[in-house]
Chains A and B, each alone.
Chain A
Amino acid sequence: MSGKFSQKAMCWLMRLTAYFVVLVVGFIVFEIIWHGARAISWEFLFSMPRRSGAEGGIFPAIVGTFLLVAGSIAVAFPLGVATAIYLSEYARQGRFTHAVRVAIATLAGIPSIVFGLFGLGLFVIFLGWGCSIMSGCATLACMILPTIIVSSEESLRAVPQSLREGSLALGATKWQTIWSNVLPYSVGGMLTGLILAIGRVAGETAPILLTVAAFYLPKLPRSMSDQVMALPYHLYVLSTQHPDTAAVLPKAYGTALVLLILVLGVGLAAIIMRIHVRKKYKW
């Protein structure tokens, strides 16, 4: 009988670990929303910061994050999709393909701060772009490339082989087949991957710390070679670097909430998209 009891106990123990994680997630989100909601106002979202962030809003940081996301996606998405098409449609087993796969796995595992150092060494110093939006976007693009490649390749591989065979049998060339019979059906899955990448770029701090982010810059950037503020870095500055941390606390909570809503909203969009795509194409 004791065996039965210990079985039950073990089962509950595992259940506890799973639910404990859920509890912690709920607590974090609740804490940020609870304190952050009071700081959010029209003025907070759409005005310039004053007195090094203690007053005013976070508009330049929102614009900065938006620019970094748009710029890095614009670079990484086409390259990632092209690589995925190559890997899923053209690549044959061999040295080159193996090397590409190893490179992608390696890229995925490199810490974000090392990407920051790399961006500093290559874009900021070697290419002479300075601390600028361009350097930041290029660094972030390298960082999210593996995410985009892996998700795009998965969605290409999910398209049934019979669609390709049908198209080829009718005399279409390989590229015509891919363009009109494979890509249209995998676009949904690719967009899901893209959305996940957006969430990751928006929240990333360490690489932009070294390549683009400005401590306090209450104006909007004029060109791609300007520095910008960004939401995650702004939150870091407000909560640890600011001389009067207690006074800016509401602003810090507000910034955290805006960032959380942005990232989780984007994640939610990805989940909805995934469900939608699954429903639409059931092979």
Chain B
Amino acid sequence: MRYFRKEKIIELFLQWTASLSIVIVICIFVFIFKEAVPFAKHPGLGELFSTRWMPTSPQKESFGLVPLVTGSFVVTVLAMLLTIPFGVGAAVYISELAAPVEREILKPFIEVLAGIPSVVIGFFGLMVLVPFVKSCFGLATGLTAFSGAVLLALMAIPTVTSISEDSLRSVPRSYKEASLALGASRLRTIWRVTVPAALPGIMAAVMLGTGRVIGETMAVMMVTGNAAIITFWPFDSVRTMTATIAAEMGEVAFGSDHYRALFCVGVVLLLATFGLNVAAQKVLSRYRMG
């Protein structure tokens, strides 16, 4: 009887700690929204759709999120255009074509890339990439959306590669054997059989990589120039949502409109990454079922 009670207490305790994850997620949503919601009352939600982000202008402050959203959008799209060929290409090579020895050498490098802190990558970008972009394209400054996208691609490649590789690896061997037995070449088998079979996993990898890119802060803040203008040209300076929060939160007065506006930016970020994650998990779980 004594044992039974002790066992029950332990199980309840473990269950309680497990529920903590749920509590933390709820707390995150509650506290981000709690600080953001008063903005709807005073300057009003319409303010967020204005096209200018000038939170400290002495004449008229304006808190339009449009330049920040387009900034994040441009950087993210460019970064994913770079990430997908390299990330998926490397994954296909590592899982399907590389010799075992080669694989053992390549994989740790990808893991190292995942481990380099974003601020170090940003620093590297500032020292090497930004001057290079400036002189290579003959620009006035190398602090552009393109520079940010290149660094973000570097950070997203490990995510995309490792998840894509997992899903390529889990394609049943019999599929490949059947294709090879029918006379298809190795490469044709990869393109027509293995990759299509692993496609849901690759898609999920790309979505998770996109989530990582949207949420990245430090490297982007260091190399994109942080000009809050609406542009879709890769060689302009842009200001992303994450960089705005990181750069301005230190200087705002607690409870001011500007402070609330930054939490509104946080809400947009939170919802965007949450949506991407849910979608990715859906794709992954459906794939596992079938």
Contact = CB atoms under 8 A, between A and B. Distances in A.
A83 B22 CA distance: 11
A18 B89 contact: yes
Nearest to A262: B117
A20 B112 contact: no
B211 A109 contact: yes
Nearest to A121: B31
A134 interface: no
B23 to A, nearest CB: 8
A110 B273 contact: yes
Interface in B1-54: 3, 6-7, 10-11, 13-15, 17-22, 24-25, 27-28, 31-32, 34-35
A209 B25 CA distance: 21
B110 A113 contact: no
Which of B35, B120, B254 is most buried by chain A, counting CB atoms within 10 A of its CB?
B120
Contact of B14 (A85, A96, A260, A267): A85
9 contacts: A13-B89, A14-B90, A17-B90, A18-B93, A105-B281, A113-B269, A114-B32, A121-B32, A121-B34
Interface stretch (B166-174, B175-183, B212-220, B231-239): B212-220
B115 A264 contact: yes
Interface string A1-22: 0010001001101110111111
A101 B250 CA distance: 34
A117 B19 contact: no
A21 B90 contact: yes
B115 A239 contact: no
Contacts of A99: 22
B199 interface: no
Given A21-B86, A109-B276, A205 B118 contact: yes
Given A11-B187, A90-B11, A209-B246, A114 B269 contact: yes
B119 interface: yes
A162 interface: no
A182 interface: no
B124 A103 contact: no
B157 interface: yes
B24 A271 contact: no
A228 interface: no
Contacts of A38: none
Contact of A112 (B13, B90, B154, B215): B215
Contacts of B13: 82
A114 B112 contact: no
B208 A109 contact: yes
Contacts of A252: 123
Interface stretch (A23-31, A42-50, A56-64): A23-31
Contacts of A122: 27, 31
A197 B27 CA distance: 22
B119 A114 contact: no
Interface of B: 3, 6-7, 10-11, 13-15, 17-22, 24-25, 27-28, 31-32, 34-35, 85-86, 89-90, 92-94, 97-98, 105-106, 108-113, 115-124, 126-128, 154, 157, 161, 185-187, 208, 211, 214-218, 221-222, 242, 245-246, 249-250, 254, 262-263, 266, 269-270, 273-274, 276-278, 281
Contacts of B3: 173
A25 B21 CA distance: 34
Nearest to B128: A31
A281 interface: no
Which of B14, B263, B278 is most buried by chain A, counting CB atoms within 10 A of its CB?
B14
A117 B245 contact: yes
A204 B123 contact: no
A52 to B, nearest CB: 16
Interface string A151-189: 000000000000000000000011100000000000000
Contacts of B7: 173-175
B10 A175 contact: yes
Contacts of B270: 110-111, 114
A13 B85 CA distance: 10
A104 interface: yes
Contacts of A260: 116-117, 120
Contact of A103 (B21, B86, B215): B21
B76 to A, nearest CB: 12
Interface in A94-131: 96, 99-100, 102-118, 120-122, 125-126
A229 B128 CA distance: 26
A207 to B, nearest CB: 9
Contacts of B6: 175
A110 B211 CA distance: 8
A6 B269 CA distance: 43
Nearest to B188: A7
